[in-house]
Chain A
Amino acid sequence: MSDRRRSLFILLLVFGLIAVSAVVVATKETKLGLDLQGGVQLVYEGKPTPQQPTVDQQALDRALQIMRERVDAFGVAEPELALIGGRQVEVNLPGVEDADRAADQVGSTAQLYFYDWEANVLNEDCRTNDTETDGGTQAIAGLRAAVERASKCTDVPEADSSVVAAAPRFYAFNKISKQPFQGATGLESRQAALDAVPKEDRENAEVLEVPKGVLVVRDEKAAAGKDGKEPPAPDRWWVLLDRPALSGTDLKNPEQNFDQRGGGQPIVTFDFTDKGRKAFQSITRKIAQRGADNSLPGVPADQGSQSFAIVLDDELVSKPVINYQENPDGIDGSTGAQISGGFTIQSAQDLAKILQIGALPIKLELISRSQVSASLGAQALDQGLIAGVVGLGIVALFLIGYYRVLGLVASLALLIYALYFYALVKAVPVVLTLPGIAGLVLTLGVAADANIVIFERVKEEVRAGRGVSTAIVNGYRKGLTAIIDANVVTLLVAFILFILATAGVKGFAFMLGLGVIVSLFTAVLATQAILFSLRGTRLIRGRAGLGSSEQRFNPRKNYMGASKWFFSASGLIMLIGAFAIAGNGLNFGIDFEGGTRITAPLEQKANVDQVRDVVRGAGLTDAEVQTINNPELGRNLVQISSRESGAPVRAATDALDNEFGVAGQPNEESIGPTFGQSVGRSALIAIIASLTVISVYIALRFEWKVAVPVLIALMHDILITGGVYALTGREVTTSTVAALLTILGFSLYDTIIVFDRVRENIPRMPSAAFSQIVNRSMSEVVVRSLATSFCTLLPVLSLYFLGGETLQDFAFALIVGTASGTYSSIFIAAPVLTHWKEREPVYAARERRIKERLGYVPAYATVEQGGPVDVAPAAPRGGRRGGVTTPQDPSQGVSRAEFDDMVANLGIEEAGRREPAAAAARGNRPAGGRRARARGEAPPPPATGPAPADGEGSDAPKPKKPRNRKHGRPR
């Protein structure tokens, strides 16, 4: 297929896809993530129970199914439930505002058991006393005291037939404050309890073991207040023998009702199954008879009667009394029964639904909870979209300003890219999240980078004297290798992020990966088709129209010579960074450390000290408070951060509401320490995996010696970014890690551009020292490298200034990393490679030879140093390419193929094929060769300025050089 036909075909495809994309964009809705539309996200970790000792896939699937049924029963629109990692379940509930209720609805195990109360309550001697009410004991104040009592009950009857406490449970406490680390329920092993303790508290932690057969249950709540609010859970506990008489599986038809006798309080009524009915009658009869046996003369029956207890997920729900006078033969369960105690209408309805659906097979521990208000979500969406549009605009302006007509075509391709991408997001559909928007904005830079790489090639070709049409063809052909290498690396990083990172970062990775693929189509194929179609038209006939007029900046500098000083500057920056990390540490956010962040608009104005006093008084002793200015989220906005989570946080928000009034629903993000640790671990694995994959790819595409400087440069970027974070005290979040990994990709983009040119120049400079090859390569690509970095920085800056708080964090790491990446590609990776390669015998020999002739090694190869300065490379002779930066025979200064090419290029075939090219060059033979001279062409004038006469890089326009027959290159 001819070029023109191919271009026409691609253009038709492009226009067809534009039409399809427009239809998709117009007709399909965008699926927004929780962070953009508001809602609650809950992450649970499956824990074994005595009934289900291992958390296997089957148990997780069953749990997920039950949770889904619960969510459906509660009527949440478009909920998302997914298994993540090995044992975690992520629940996204868009539009839900009450995170507490959502957590109770979805994740409560709902294991319901009925106990003969007096026969099972253990006193301080670990004995039961069924002759007295409540076993002659009282509820114990504080979980630590209750667990301590329970831990002594090692010899209890029927422990082996225990159901709920069929295995020992472990509780971790702070020795000083006596506060638990793991919440109200114990954990399955000592190690699990220790894992729940934050590292900094390990020294003050103690683990207590409650033996099997013994339960620690929370006392029942008080009745709901007149305001309809559920009372807080009491810090009073009972120690109980685990000998249940009935379980939740023995009931049916649970529903919320009102207690007709008890003042119309909300209750849950239910029927029994046949088995349950018999068991219920039996246990109530036993309790009634015992009450009658132990009754004292003169004591009313309702005071002397005993109770049975209803325990739901280790909490005493109610403890109804069985009046032995009214029910001497127990209660017939045929009319059902009821659960009462501290319910609101809502909580009673919820319990009824949960009991109806059934208990979860495993225990689910809430390890992360975040709640985003709808207004914050809408604001984040607006900010993200504005940042995207502005990013697109400034990238387009830069491209048009710098590349004129070429830039116009690239900008058009960017618009097409944005349309395709948006259509894909709607069509798949991809849930659009805030990190996803960041990925989208960033890919604008990636798409523009590909065009810059090609356009700089085109400019080079034009400056070398090619016609515009040929320059465009050559530009695309030569630029493609570097673009593919760089994009494959970015794609690999995105893939690793997607596989290993947490949910928010996954969205970013998906967008980045998708963007890279789409951008390859629009930035390479579409622009190529447009430009090929424009060949020969007035639009791209002139050099000025392509922005390829003379360069004002002379890029021919001694990069390798200056690298010592840049190296030292890097060392100094890194040393400062290291001391900053050692002294200040890194400010890890709650994503890694665990904890809670609440953002609440207050109805009454309050200063930081007042808010701090209130929340600290409510239990958040380590609370840090700051005020935030964001009118869209409300007035008097405060942000409270604490390492605590769970009950103290709820108490603090209640206290805040009582004291100052909270307008609407506060935003809340709560991460458990285990979730934080898993986030940190996955981030570390992602970084190591990325570095490994990148190294392997570079080693395969270039050679293994190239992979080492690349790795060193990447380490340099990561460490410098870490140092800047330590110096500025900015919070390190999961977004920072995602940005760091992206930096790896971008840093490589620049490095690959440089090394790709080194790879290309090695066979062209068969007599040059390695530093000269690198200097020349750098001078050829430095503008391109700077332009791609600048183009990446433009949308990132847009994110930083317009993207809102979350995207700002992300953009900050990217700004530091992009700057560091550009710097390290030029001044770290290339010099390390140079130092290392110069030790190889072939390059060491060349350097020795040059020094013998000139006494020093010039920055750029010269004719005076001997040997040809620039020859056309030999065409690959089939088969696999060898090491890309190694001559074919390292023992020779010049390989056979290179020598033949030199001879051909210098036009000395007739003079004697045995004469080495170096010898030919020593004779001060005029450039152009015999054939050229025979054709009467004038030799090119000597280059002006400081540049040596190697025929390249000069600012002065050059006369057209004679062409090499084989390659069409200037000799």
Chain B
Amino acid sequence: MGLLVWVMVAIALWHFTVFLPDRWWAGIVGAFAGSVVGSVIFGLIIHTGTIPGQNDTDFLTALESVPGAVLGMAAVWFLGIRTEERERLHHGHA
């Protein structure tokens, strides 16, 4: 159940990325993947590798997903910027 909550919060947060300029690595789908993967990894880290069961979730479980999702999307964003710059340099040299 914890996994479902993490993923759901991650996807919910991802919806708001449409307000940001599209500089994600692999676009909006990359942001989606970053958000989901980030929230799951972060959740697993703070729960030391376990996933809260059906009766172990509370509002905090949902909040735990937020930093992971944001970090995941941030990572995809910086990856996107780096890829853009590399491509610009490549085209400049060419």
Q: Which A residues lie at the B interface, using CB under 8 A?
A: 199-200, 563-564, 567-568, 570-572, 574-575, 577-579, 581-583, 585-586, 588, 708-709, 712, 715-716, 719, 722-723, 831-832, 835-836, 838-839
Contact = CB atoms under 8 A, between A and B. Distances in A.
B29 interface: yes
B18 A831 contact: yes
A199 B54 CA distance: 9
A581 B5 contact: yes
Contacts of A716: 11
A592 to B, nearest CB: 10
B49 interface: no
- Nearest first, the 5 A-B pairs at minimum CB distance are A571-B15, A578-B8, A574-B12, A582-B62, A575-B12
A839 B16 contact: no
A534 B21 CA distance: 55
Contacts, number: 90
Contacts of A575: 9, 12-13
Contact of B15 (A200, A574, A577, A579): A574
A578 B5 contact: yes
Given A199-B54, A563-B18, A835-B28, A581 B59 contact: no
Contacts of B50: none
Nearest to A565: B18
B57 A582 contact: yes
A685 B21 CA distance: 37
Interface in B1-20: 1, 4-5, 7-9, 11-16, 18-19
Contact of B5 (A582, A708, A835): A582
A708 B1 contact: no
Interface in B25-75: 27-29, 32, 53-55, 57-62, 65
A577 B9 CA distance: 9
B58 to A, nearest CB: 6
A839 B55 contact: no
Given A835-B22, A836-B28, A581 B12 contact: no
B8 A719 contact: yes
A864 to B, nearest CB: 25
Nearest to A202: B53
A685 B8 CA distance: 19
Contacts of A722: 4, 8
A723 B8 contact: yes
Contacts of A199: 53-54
Contacts of A578: 5, 8-9, 12, 62, 65
Interface of B: 1, 4-5, 7-9, 11-16, 18-19, 22, 27-29, 32, 53-55, 57-62, 65
Contacts of A582: 5, 57-62
A581 B8 contact: yes
Contacts of B13: 571, 575
Contacts of A564: 18-19
A579 B59 CA distance: 6
Contacts of A586: 1, 54
A571 B16 contact: yes
A839 B12 CA distance: 23
Given A575-B12, A586-B1, A581 B18 contact: no
Contacts of A570: 15
Contacts of B18: 563-564, 567-568, 831, 835
A418 B41 CA distance: 51
A564 B22 CA distance: 13
12 contacts: A199-B53, A564-B18, A571-B14, A574-B11, A575-B13, A581-B57, A582-B5, A582-B58, A585-B57, A712-B32, A715-B11, A835-B28
B15 A567 contact: yes
Contacts of B29: 708-709, 712, 832, 836
A604 B48 CA distance: 55
A572 B62 CA distance: 14
A571 B28 CA distance: 14
A581 B7 CA distance: 12
Contacts of A836: 27-29
Nearest to A573: B12
A570 B54 CA distance: 25
Given A574-B8, A581-B8, A582-B5, A835 B27 contact: yes
Contacts of A708: 29
Given A200-B55, A574-B11, A835-B27, A581 B16 contact: no
Contacts of B57: 581-583, 585
B12 A583 contact: no
B58 A832 contact: no
B59 A583 contact: yes
A588 B61 CA distance: 19
Contact of A568 (B7, B16, B60): B16
A831 B53 CA distance: 34
A845 to B, nearest CB: 14
Contacts of A715: 11
A571 B12 contact: yes
Contacts of B22: 835, 838-839
A692 to B, nearest CB: 17
B20 to A, nearest CB: 11
Nearest to B15: A571
A718 to B, nearest CB: 10
Nearest to A834: B28
A709 B32 CA distance: 11
Contacts of B9: 575, 578
A75 B4 CA distance: 49
Nearest to B28: A835
A581 to B, nearest CB: 6
Given A574-B15, A709-B29, 17 more contacts: A567-B15, A568-B18, A571-B12, A571-B14, A571-B15, A574-B12, A577-B8, A578-B12, A578-B65, A581-B1, A581-B8, A582-B58, A582-B60, A582-B62, A715-B11, A719-B8, A723-B8
Q: Which of B12, B14, B22 has the most chain A CB within a 10 Å cutoff?
A: B12
A570 B15 CA distance: 7
Contacts of B12: 571-572, 574-575, 577-578
A582 B18 CA distance: 26
A544 B13 CA distance: 48
B37 to A, nearest CB: 14
Contacts of B62: 578-579, 581-583
A831 B9 CA distance: 20
Contacts of B14: 571
Interface centre among B8, B59, B62 (most CB of A within 10 A): B8
B36 to A, nearest CB: 9
B27 A585 contact: no
Nearest to A570: B15
B11 to A, nearest CB: 6
B26 to A, nearest CB: 8
Contact of A832 (B1, B28, B55, B59): B28
- Residue among B9, B55, B65 with most chain A CB within 10 A: B9
B11 A719 contact: yes
Contacts of A577: 8, 12
Contacts of A832: 28-29
B42 to A, nearest CB: 15
Contacts of B16: 567-568, 571
B29 to A, nearest CB: 5
Nearest to B33: A708
A570 B13 CA distance: 10
A578 B39 CA distance: 13
A719 B32 CA distance: 15
Nearest to A593: B54
A832 B18 CA distance: 9
A568 B15 contact: yes
A723 B12 CA distance: 12
A708 B26 CA distance: 12
Given A567-B18, A583-B59, A839 B27 contact: yes
Contacts of A579: 59, 62
A836 B22 CA distance: 9
Contacts of B19: 564, 568
